[in-house]
Structures are given as structure tokens and as C-alpha cells.
Amino acid sequence: MLLNVTLTLLDGLGTTVQIFLLTLLFALPLGLVIAFGSMSKITPLRWVCNLLVWVVRGTPLMLQLIGFMYIPGILGHNIWGGGDVGRMTATVVAFSINYACYFSVIYRGGIQGVPLGQREAAQVLGMTKRQIFFKVTLLQMIKRIVPPMSNEIITLVKDTSLARIIAVYELTFTGYSYMKSSGLVWPLLYTGVFYLLFVGILTLLFNFIERKLSYFR
């Protein structure tokens, strides 16, 4: 019984990992775009980016998932299609936009945390804006954002369980299905072991990255 449950949960874990990796793939670069937009000298662009961040951070991710999944269909435009692929696509889009907004705030804090005098000194030396960003700002920003980014990324692991609200067959949904079909509670609790292992691996990875960046103060 334990082996069968474990194999079934591993199948659900595969979907959880897919949501996790795809969200990072899209949210990390999108967050940087939103961060630059929120700091832009173009007022309308800055307002739009700040409004987006405010709305996303101010509403539950669960509501955003439901909205992305069902509102297009209600409006007569079923852009996601049907079946598992459609639900998975809506999930990744909702998660990516949500986490991009949170990442943008971290990016913005990291960029603004770099002393202005260093950027001014680089300008005096004749460096272009592109060179200043990649050679002066970026390295210091990465050092500053690793701890808060690691917290957000670990939170993402646990937030993937919200995908079950739109019937995505991820890890928690898989454990919950045993309770619905057989009245067994322990498979749902057993999913905690998989989350702990996942988070443990990420924690070790981020600790390694922080140690590698510790030379840069």
C-alpha cells in the first residue's frame, strides 16, 4: 500500500515540479521588466507597473487562479482550451504574473540599494548605462536579493498546492484524492514529506549560493 501511494504521489510531484520550474522560467525575467517599468521616468508606464504590483500583491493567489481560469470563458473567449493542458497553462500564467510582481519588488530594492555614488563614478569613467548595469549594479544586486528571493522561491513550492483549486493534478490534489475515494487521511499528510525534501534541497542550494557570494561585500 505504501509503495503504491508513494508512486502515485511521485506522479503528482512531477506536476508540482513542472509548475515550479515553469513559473520561475517566466517570472524571473518578467519581474525584472516590471521592476524597470516601476522605476521608469515614463509616468504612464510607471503607474501601470505599480498598479499591477498593487493589485497582484493585494489579492489572494487563489482568486487570481480562479480568475485566469474562468473569466476568459465567461467572456466567451476560452483561450486556455480544455483538459489538463488548459488548466496547467492557466496555472502557469497566473503563478508567473503573481511571482513576477513579488520578484519585481525584490529586484527594485536590490537595484536601489546599490549606492548612487558608485553609478555616478562609473559614469565619470565613461561607462555606458548598459556597462554600469552589468558590471556595477547587477553583481551587487544579486548579492542583496539572494536571501529574499530564496524565501519567495521556497514559498512558491508550497503555493503550488493552490493549483488543485482548478483541478490541476499536483501533489496535494493527489494525496487528497485518497481521502475522497477511500477515506484515507495519511496519504494527504504523507505529501508533507515530499514538500520537506523539496524545500530541503532548495535550502541547501541557496545556502551554497550565499556562501559563494559571501566574498562580495
Q: Indicate whether 89 belongs to any domain.
A: yes
76: CATH = 1.10.3720.10
**What integer is the mean pLDDT of 43-64?**
96
Question: Residue 121 — very low, low, confident or very high, per pLDDT cuts 50/70/90?
Answer: confident
Q: Indicate whether 59 belongs to any domain.
A: yes
Summarize pLDDT for 126-179 with one digit per residue, the tens.
788 787 777 777 778 888 899 999 999 999 999 999 999 998 999 999 999 988
d(CA 217, CA 215): 6
C-alpha angle 85-88-94 in degrees, rounded to nearest 5 = 140
Question: Residue 51 — very low, low, confident or very high, per pLDDT cuts 50/70/90?
Answer: very high
Instruction: Reply yes or no on whether the pLDDT at 180 is more than 80.
Output: yes
User: Burial, 55: exposed, middle or buried (Cβ in 10 Å; 0-12, 13-18, 19+)?
Assistant: exposed
Question: Residue 15 — very low, low, confident or very high, per pLDDT cuts 50/70/90?
Answer: very high
Domain span holding position 88: 18-168
Q: What is the pLDDT of residue 154?
A: 96
Question: Residue 57 — very low, low, confident or very high, per pLDDT cuts 50/70/90?
Answer: very high
Q: Indicate whether 4 belongs to any domain.
A: no
pTM of the model: 0.90
| Whole-number percent of the chain with pLDDT over 90 | 64
| pLDDT: which is higher, 46 or 76 | 46
Q: What is the pLDDT of residue 217?
A: 56
Q: Indicate whether 124 belongs to any domain.
A: yes
Q: Indicate whether 156 belongs to any domain.
A: yes
**What integer is the mean pLDDT of 89-95?**
96
d(CA 104, CA 90): 21
Q: How many domains does the chain have?
A: 1
Q: Indicate whether 199 belongs to any domain.
A: no
Q: Indicate whether 204 belongs to any domain.
A: no
Q: Indicate whether 208 belongs to any domain.
A: no
Which of 13-22, 38-47, 147-156, 177-186 is predicted with the least confidence, judged by mean pLDDT?
177-186
| pLDDT: which is higher, 21 or 134 | 21
What residues contact 204, with CB distance under 8 A and at least 6 apart?
none
